[in-house]
Amino acid sequence: MAICSGLLLKFVAQQVLEFRMFLTFISHSFLFVGIFFIIYTLVPLTDFSTSIYFISLFILSVALTFAAHFLHRAIFTTEQRLKKIISKLFDFIILETPRKHVSEEKQIDYVISYEKIINEIGDE
C-alpha cells in the first residue's frame, strides 16, 4: 500500500506545480517505507547480525527508492517525448502533406479521410 501511495503521489506531484517539492518528498517517504518493509519481509534475519541486517536494509531501501525515482522520471519523460513526436507527425499529416504532396483535385478527399481517422482516434 505504501509503494502504491508513493507512486500515486509522484504522479500527482508532476501535475500540481505549487506543492511539487512537498509531494515529491512525501512520495519518496512512502516509497522508502514500502520498500523497507518488503525487504524486511523477504530477507530472513537469521543470516546476519541484527546491526548488519538493519544497515543493509536501510541501504537497500534508499537505493531502491532512488531507482524508483529515476524509473518514474524515465517513464514520464518518455511519455512526454512520444507526445511531442505524435504531435509533430499529426502536424505533418494535417498541415504540410496536403499543401506539398497532394494534388489540388485530391485535397478534399485527403482532408475527409484524415478527419475521419482523427475522429475515430478521438472515440477510443
Please tell me the distance from the alpha carbon of residue 66 to that of residue 113, in angstroms, as a whole number.
Answer: 47
pTM above 0.75, yes or no: no
Handedness of CA 46, 42, 31, 77 (dihedral sign): positive
* H-helix or E-strand spanning residue 101: helix 97-101
Q: How confident is the model at residue 30 (pLDDT cuts 50, 70, 90)?
A: very high
Average of per-residue pLDDT across 95-112? 78
Handedness of CA 104, 106, 108, 111 (dihedral sign): negative
Nearest C-alpha neighbor of 92 from the set 105, 83, 101, 81: 101
Please tell me the distance from the alpha carbon of residue 40 to that of residue 14, in angstroms, as a whole number.
Answer: 30
Find cell 518518455 and name the residue: 78
Residue 112 has pLDDT above 70, yes or no: yes
φ and ψ at 16, to 5 degrees? -100, 110
φ and ψ at 11, to 5 degrees? -65, -45
Average of per-residue pLDDT across 97-107? 77
Nearest C-alpha neighbor of 6 from the set 65, 47, 50: 65
Average of per-residue pLDDT across 103-112? 79
